[in-house]
């Protein structure tokens, strides 16, 4: 793109930082200055340089259609408002939660459900709604469900609108591990959205942990988990742990609350 004002290059920035720092002379300072000057020389604007020499034409990004209010064209649609064919009961068999009006709702006592397909690294979009009626339900008993990445790591679903509970157990927490940056909750009975970037943990052939899972979450468009490291399984009691596993389903929690879900899709990364 042409017409932009030139930005200060690396050498300028390093020089200014150095001058602001008030550093005195010495071997380290001399080296820093030499590096900055060399960088400045290498990256200075050259009016004779061919602008095409810094253009990259490959790889060409695949085209993805992005219709308004619908899943991107390369997404795996996990619920399109009609049926739970992409899901099964967490103990096998068909998913038995209630489908109506383009959404499905937890049937308390029926146990959780999970995707038939397994996933590793994903981008996930999911919308949820806690019950409008809150009388008699407080804390963890108000609109509790959860989205378990790889069946192990819970992104909490809870009515956290004017409903105090432990902060690492409120909506958009990584359950008992990571408090959300802000509380972006809407009121009970309103649809809310999570947009998630999830990187699965890596394990060595011997079963050792190479890298933990990481998660970024937007809650109703607001950043609430910023590349958060997941410490292991999200346990109700005790510390998180890691045990080696491969790609695994996404599961949704039955926590005895009639939480609704709709518009669920995944892009495999």
Cα dist from 218 to 178, 184, 192, 221, 223, whole Å: 14, 9, 11, 5, 4
Site string for Mg ion, 197-236 (x = CB under 5 A): ----------------------------------------
> Are 260 and 126 contacting, i.e. CB atoms less than 8 angstroms apart?
no
Report the alpha-carbon distance of residue 261 to residue 130 in Å, rounded: 9
Of the pair 84, 171, the CB lying nearest Mg ion is at 171
Q: What angle do CA 168, 170, 173 make, to 5 degrees?
A: 55
Residue number, 144 or 225, with CB nearest to Mg ion: 144
Reduced to 3 states (helix: H, G, I; strand: E, B; else coil), residue 38 is helix
Provide the minimum distance between the beta carbon of 169 and Mg ion in the complex, in angstroms, as a whole number.
8
* Spatial distance between the Cα atoms of 1 and 212, rounded to a whole number of angstroms: 39
Does 11 help bind Mg ion (rule: CB under 5 A)? no
Q: Cβ closer to Mg ion: 177 or 253?
A: 253
* Mask for 72-101, x = binds Mg ion (CB under 5 A): ------------------------------
Contact 261, 104 (CB under 8 A): yes
Helix axes 27-43, 10-21, angle to 10 degrees: 150
CB within 8 Å of 141: residues ≥ 6 apart: 256, 257
- 125 vs 255, beta carbon nearer Mg ion: 255
Q: Show the binding pattern over residues 243-262: x = contacts Mg ion (CB under 5 A), - = does not.
A: ----------x---------
The contact pattern for Mg ion, residues 138-177, with x = CB under 5 A and - = no contact, is ------x-x-------------------------------
Nearer to Mg ion among residue 119 and residue 175 (C-beta): 175
Residues that bind Mg ion (CB under 5 A): 144, 146, 253
């Amino acid at each position: 793109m042409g017409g932009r004002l030139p930005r200060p290059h690396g050498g300028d920035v390093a020089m200014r930082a150095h001058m602001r720092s008030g550093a005195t002379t010495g071997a380290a300072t001399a080296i820093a200055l030499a590096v900055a000057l060399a960088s400045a020389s290498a990256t200075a604007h050259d009016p004779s340089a061919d602008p095409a020499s810094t253009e990259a034409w490959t790889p060409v990004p695949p085209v993805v259609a992005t219709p308004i209010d619908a899943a991107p064209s390369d997404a795996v649609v996990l619920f399109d408002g009609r049926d739970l064919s992409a899901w099964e009961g967490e103990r096998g068999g068909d998913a038995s939660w209630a489908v109506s009006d383009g959404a499905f709702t937890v049937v308390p006592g029926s146990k959780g459900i999970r995707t038939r397909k397994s996933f590793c690294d994903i981008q996930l979009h999911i919308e949820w709604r806690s019950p409008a009626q809150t009388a008699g339900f407080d804390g963890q008993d108000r609109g509790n469900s959860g989205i378990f990445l790889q069946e192990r790591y819970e992104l909490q679903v809870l009515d956290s609108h004017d409903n105090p509970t432990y902060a690492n157990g409120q909506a958009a927490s990584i359950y008992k591990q990571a408090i959300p940056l802000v509380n972006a909750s809407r009121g009970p009975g309103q649809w809310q959205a999570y947009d998630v970037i999830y990187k699965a943990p890596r394990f060595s052939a011997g079963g050792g942990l190479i890298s933990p899972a990481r998660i970024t979450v937007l809650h109703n468009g607001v950043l609430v988990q910023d590349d958060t490291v997941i410490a292991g399984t999200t346990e109700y009691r005790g510390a998180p742990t890691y045990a080696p596993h491969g790609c695994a389903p996404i599961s949704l929690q039955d926590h005895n609350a009639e939480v609704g879900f709709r518009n669920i899709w995944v892009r495999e990364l």
